[in-house]
Amino acid sequence: MLGENQKEKNAEGTDLSNRKTEDLENRNKKETVKFCNITTAHSKCSNNNDYDSQILKSKIKAVTSLVKELEDNILEANQNDKKIFLKIQTDSMKNQILSSQLEDAKKENKQLMNVLQQRYGDQTSSRTTSRSNMDCSYSTVSMVNLQYKYEELLANYEGLLKVLDTKGKEINKCHSENEDLRNQVRDTSTSLTECQQEINKICKKYLVLKQRKDRKVRAK
């Protein structure tokens, strides 16, 4: 009887030891699976963060390229403004010269008429008819010459007015384009700021996840 009881106790002890071993193995398996899940989740999160970072870097690169292009366009527009302004100044000076030439022609014609009147003012009545014809001839030639110069100056003046109007429209167009470029630069700057903030958020999120993983690894 004592021998059988001892055998039963030994068998029970063996069963208990086997159950404890199985429980320990099951717990180890669960912990292993849990650790694998955490590692997989962290790996997926890291991959997602890397993908998001690549997208943001691509966007930042595109935005930077756009800003550079806008800066070049603004510089070119400013240079065009300077050229147009110099052209307008030159045309204005030409207009002043032509106006001065017109005034000189008027003065010359008036002086010529005065000389003719003085030269033939004291002639005898017998030569009055001849003097009148000569005055009329000189006056006609002078008026034709003056009319020709006037028409030439008027045509040049009207041409300058058209050029001035065209340049004015070009300047207004350049100002409008410059304003559009400035707005695009402001929008691009805002977009860059938003992208930078998004990158900072992703970096913080990545650090938090990394710290969690490190704590769990140390706890085990």
**Residue 6 confidence (pLDDT) above 70:** no
2-219: CATH class: mainly alpha
Q: Output the DSSP codes for 65-105.
A: HHHHHHHHHHHHHHHHHHHHHHHHHHHHHHHHHHHHHHHHH
Cβ neighbours of residue 80 closer than 8 Å, sequence gap 6 or more: 174
- CB under 8 Å, gap of 24 or more: what pairs does 171-176 form? 171/81, 171/84, 171/85, 174/77, 174/80, 174/81, 174/84, 175/81
Give pLDDT tens digits for 91-110. Answer: 777 777 777 777 777 777 67
51-65, 139-153, 186-200: segment of lowest average pLDDT: 139-153
* Count of CB atoms situated within 10 Å of the CB of 113: 15
**Residue 162 pLDDT greater than 80, yes or no:** yes
In the structure, what pLDDT confidence band is assigned to residue 184 with cuts at 50, 70 and 90?
A: confident
Task: Give the pLDDT confidence score for residue 20 in this predicted structure.
Answer: 53
CA–CA separation, 33 vs 27, rounded Å? Answer: 10
pLDDT class for 24, splitting at 50, 70, 90? Answer: low
Higher per-residue pLDDT: 181 or 16: 181
pLDDT, averaged across the chain: 68
Phi, psi of 124 (to 5 degrees): -70, 165
Q: Higher confidence at residue 118 or residue 196?
A: 196
**pLDDT score of 189:** 78
Give the residue from 63, 79, 77 showing the smallest Cα distance to 185: 63
pLDDT at 195: 79
Average pLDDT over residues 145-149: 72
Return the pLDDT at 72. Answer: 78
154 versus 119: which is more confidently predicted? 154
